Chain A
Amino acid sequence: MIGLLETGSGYWNAITWVIMVIAVGAAVIWLRNHGEDKYKKDTDQTKPFLSGNPEISKEDSHVSASHIYWGFTEALKHYYQPLIKLHTGNINDYSGWIVLVMAIIFIVVGVS
């Protein structure tokens, strides 16, 4: 069967997956079209409710890259702080890492 990939413990067929996605997607759209019909475009109904505060402009509400995953990096700051420190940008350190890894491999291969 074309598209059938043996993966080691099972099989993968992307064509079947695509057909399934199309079928499920069609069912979801069909269900959606039978849903609530009281939605009125371009009315207050479409605005988000922000505890009674006015909605800020879309341009001002765009979250920039620096703020995305702030919580993730903050929670992992003890992992990130030394990791960032290691990335000095200094070519001497780059060379040092090569020598260090070479020395470790020498020891590992030597004793094995």
Chain B
Amino acid sequence: MSSILTHSPALVMALPLLAAFLTPVVGRFNRKILGWFISAILGLTLGITILMAIQILTNGSMIYVFGGGDAGLTLPSGYTVPIRIIFHIDGMGIFMGLITAVVSFLAAIYSLSFMQKESGLEKYYALLLLLATGMFGMEFTGDIFNFFVFLEIASISSVALIAFRSNFSGEPAEAGFKYMVVSSISALMVLFAIGLFYGQYDVLNMATIASVMQFTQLDKIALILLVTVLSMKAGSVPMHMWTPDAYSEAPAAITMVLVAASQASLYALFRVCFSLYNISLNTVTIGWIIIILGVLSMFIGVTMAIIQKDIKRLMAYHAISQTGYMLLGVGVGLAVLANPVALNSFGIKAMEGSIFHIMNHAMYKGLLFLTAGALFYRTGTRDLNKMGGLANNMFYTTIFFIIGAAAIAGIPPFNGFASKLMIYESVYKFNPLLSIIAMLVSILTLASFVKVFHSAFLGPKLEQYKKVQEVPKSMLFAMATLACIIVLFGLFPDVIVKNLVHPAVMALINQTNYTATILGGI
């Protein structure tokens, strides 16, 4: 058991990565067990991630040095800087890792039925595993070049998965192409920023770069490049336009994972600002830039959502809007990072609200996309104008939709309410107007989902959907699991905030701990 724990960071990566290459072989022998094989691999990965979370939250950050004799030895005798690839998993990293593990596993379960009639499933599942690997890597690595590699793995597999169902309605290939272009731009900029760091400091380990950061003009340029492209990858307005295209065309289970992938970029943005630069940067300016991006995302996202007629495009715009809440809270935390009084008074709480919202959003937005997928699975359309009366035939899907919609609209007692309340109350102390805008956006979110509920579920049975039945059990299981998480997180938010969210926020804020874990207090 202790050996598994010691090597768990490598195992979490190796399991999906090796299984991805094994998938075509398994599919060749027995196509029927392929989905179950992938689900078992991702289930095992989830189990190991949970073990890692318990270990990290009990004993502190976890280090894994690849290629060294001792997995925990970052500086072998004679070395002053770490040169090997090091996984550095702290409270924030494992928080994101848990999200990735849960959504990847549930995506595989949901796909068992949802993708059953599709051809090329070996490719689909292999890409899903590679996407999960890329996301885990982005969240666990402590090496900035290694981060770039995993960003690329996640992006390339995402592109292929978005374009996967090109035989269905819509323009999946076009959406995949658009995502490929914006991902390439972001990858290029990230690589350029890495070059600037390496050219100045001769190191790639993030903790080491943080410890020697001079905040030169080149560091400023690297920061600007990283903030811009990582915000774009997170779906921030006005760089959000790829999001509705990609989210609406990808298969529903993949859309759920794409939301988590966007959040991995958001995590990277926070990691850069807090762990790499921290108070060496002009926290007020960068904090306000993130706040403004957040407010724009919240407001433009929700107002664009209201006018959509395609259920998945509508939900995609809401994903943009919800990302705004995360940017807002963390932006406030960053803006007051250099002011200990304000940070302790409301900054930490604002960040807790936002970080909690990341997990909540992954769960309820995942659930909503799965319900949209369930509707598409049975009706063959995403057009809300063509839907109606489906609550008569799809009872469980309706219940799950109500739970997801109530959670995203911030209705108590669901999880979205708890995190939004934390954001409202703490951000109000920073700037009341921002808090009022956030509340207004919540009201518009509710209005938007009332529209979806009325259009798709309410009303009499329509002639063309009289024979529609509830979706298969594997799809229901994935939706039910997310619904249970939403309800439990809503009923006991204090447990999650205390045990998962607070350690994540403190891991971000405390840069000294981050560097000392690798460099031993240098």
Contact = CB atoms under 8 A, between A and B. Distances in A.
Given A14-B412, A97-B239, A68 B451 contact: yes
Interface stretch (B42-50, B51-59, B69-77, B490-498): B490-498
B350 interface: yes
Interface stretch (A31-39, A47-55, A87-95): A87-95
A29 interface: no
A9 interface: yes
Contact of A62 (B231, B425, B447, B460): B460
A10 to B, nearest CB: 7
Interface string B466-498: 000000000000000000000000111111010
B306 A72 contact: yes
A7 interface: yes
Given A7-B349, A94-B182, A64 B492 contact: no
Contact of B349 (A8, A91, A108): A8
A83 interface: yes
B460 A101 contact: no
Contacts of A15: 413, 491
Identify whether the interface residues of A are mostly helix, strand, loop, or mixed. Answer: helix
A80 B388 CA distance: 27
A30 interface: no
Nearest to B350: A8
Interface residues on A, range: 35 or more
Contacts of A100: 238
Contacts of A80: 303, 307
B378 interface: no
B349 A66 contact: no
Contacts of A98: 182, 185, 228-229, 232, 239
Contact of A7 (B221, B242, B421, B463): B421
B182 A112 contact: no
Nearest to B242: A94
B455 A93 contact: no
A105 B227 contact: yes
B346 interface: yes
A95 B180 CA distance: 12
B332 to A, nearest CB: 11
A73 B305 CA distance: 12
Interface string A5-48: 11111101011011000000000000000000000000000000
B224 A106 contact: yes
Given A73-B306, A91-B181, A101 B238 contact: yes
B303 A83 contact: yes
Contacts of A76: 303
A75 interface: no
B178 A94 contact: yes
B422 A105 contact: no
Nearest to B496: A5
Identify whether the interface residues of B are mostly helix, strand, loop, or mixed. Answer: helix
Interface residues of B, number: 67
A62 B388 contact: yes
Given A14-B418, A65-B455, A98-B229, A79 B303 contact: yes
Most chain B CB inside 10 Å of its own CB: which residue of A7, A18, A108: A7
Contacts of A68: 451, 454-455
A90 B411 CA distance: 37
B122 interface: no
A18 B413 contact: yes
A89 B422 CA distance: 36
Contact of A10 (B242, B306, B425, B494): B425
A85 interface: no
Given A94-B242, A101-B228, A14 B491 contact: yes
A8 B422 contact: yes
Given A68-B454, A98-B185, A3 B286 contact: no
B245 A89 contact: yes
Interface string B218-252: 00110111011101100000110110010000000
B282 A95 contact: no
A78 interface: no
A21 B177 CA distance: 49
A6 B422 CA distance: 8
Most chain B CB inside 10 Å of its own CB: which residue of A8, A73, A89, A108: A8
B245 A8 contact: no
Nearest to A64: B385
Given A8-B346, A10-B425, A65 B223 contact: no
The 3 A-B pairs of least Cβ separation, nearest first, read: A65-B384, A8-B425, A14-B413
Interface of A: 2-10, 12, 14-15, 17-18, 58-59, 62-66, 68-69, 72-73, 76, 79-80, 83-84, 86-87, 89, 91, 93-95, 97-98, 100-102, 105-106, 108-110, 112
Given A17-B413, A83-B304, 15 more contacts: A4-B494, A7-B426, A8-B429, A9-B428, A18-B491, A59-B463, A62-B459, A66-B385, A68-B455, A69-B307, A91-B177, A95-B181, A97-B241, A101-B228, A101-B238
26 contacts: A2-B492, A5-B418, A5-B494, A6-B349, A8-B346, A8-B350, A8-B428, A9-B426, A9-B428, A12-B421, A12-B493, A14-B418, A59-B462, A64-B385, A64-B388, A69-B307, A72-B306, A79-B303, A80-B307, A89-B245, A98-B228, A98-B229, A101-B238, A105-B224, A105-B289, A108-B285
